[in-house]
């Protein structure tokens, strides 16, 4: 079957950790700005016909972004644990400076973005995370051949997958950075991948009164 899946990738809205230099921690929620962005995302995506499924990371900032989208589409978000952000382990919630102070022995390895063996203390390695990102999104696409699906997740997950498809290596994820509440669209299938648009924020230009 050569049917291409119509994949819409949504990065969650503005969250509390964006206000600081802290590494992300699991339970961080959306800010009020993030909730406004989620409503605008829902308004935009409600226009899409024939959405087969809406998937979301289970972390609060993603769930809170997916909820109004699901309400607009009358599709309950399907939570997928493997769509969560990288596990920072004991470093979650620390600033980068605090991480450097507490684990100086890991700084050299952390500073090399191509060192896939680097592991956050008590958390996930880059190799494990990048493999998870590519695996879960590939599985979701394969489950919906020729269908339209929406995935709400985090910058690490989405950018690793985009880099894998478009640049040939998930390790190049920093070249595909996505802004909060952005939408990216791909056509993905056995015939290959076509990027329709990336990191689009046009829905945020509309007045809140019209959302």
The per-residue pLDDT for range 49-103, each reduced to its tens digit, is 999 999 999 999 999 999 999 999 999 999 999 999 999 999 888 888 888 899 9
Q: What is the per-residue pLDDT for 25?
A: 63
CATH number for the domain harbouring residue 86: 3.40.50.1240
Q: Please state, for a pLDDT cut of 70, what percent of the chain lies above it.
A: 91
The catalytic residues are 12, 85
Confirm whether 80 is domain-assigned: yes
**Over the Cα atoms of the chain, what is R_g?**
17
**Residue 110 sits in which domain range?**
5-164+171-188
Instruction: Specify if 211 maps to a domain.
Output: no
Maximum CA extent, the chain: 53
Say if 203 falls within a structural domain.
no
Q: How many domains does the chain have?
A: 1
Q: What was the pLDDT predicted at 37?
A: 98
pLDDT at 210: 35
The two tokens of residue 64 are: 């809170």
Does residue 202 sit within a domain? no
Looking at the domain assignment, is residue 152 inside a domain?
yes
28 within a domain of the structure (yes/no): yes
The segments of the chain whose pLDDT lies below 70 read 1-2, 17-26, 206-211
Specify the pLDDT at position 28.
Answer: 87
Instruction: Tell me what pLDDT residue 39 has.
Output: 98
Residue 210 lies in a domain: no
Residue 180 within a domain:
yes
């Amino acid at each position: 079957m050569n049917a291409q899946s119509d994949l819409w990738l949504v990065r969650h809205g503005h969250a509390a950790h964006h206000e600081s230099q802290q590494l992300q921690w699991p339970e961080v929620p959306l800010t009020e700005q993030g909730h406004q962005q989620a409503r605008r995302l829902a308004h935009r995506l409600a226009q899409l016909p024939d959405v087969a499924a809406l998937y979301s990371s289970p972390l609060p900032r993603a769930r809170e972004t997916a909820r109004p989208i699901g309400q607009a589409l009358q599709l309950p978000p399907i939570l997928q644990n493997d769509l969560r952000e990288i596990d920072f382990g004991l470093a979650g919630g620390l600033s980068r400076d605090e991480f450097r102070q507490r684990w100086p022995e890991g700084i050299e390895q952390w500073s090399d973005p191509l060192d896939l063996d680097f592991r956050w203390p008590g958390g996930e390695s880059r190799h494990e995370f990048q493999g998870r990102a590519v695996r879960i999104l590939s599985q979701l696409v394969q489950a919906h051949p020729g269908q339209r699906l929406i995935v709400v997740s985090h910058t690490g997950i989405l950018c690793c997958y985009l880099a894998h498809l478009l640049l040939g290596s998930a390790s190049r994820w920093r070249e595909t950075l996505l802004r909060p509440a952005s939408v990216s669209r791909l056509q993905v299938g056995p015939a290959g991948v076509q990027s329709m648009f990336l990191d689009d924020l046009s829905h945020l230009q509309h007045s809140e009164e019209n959302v």
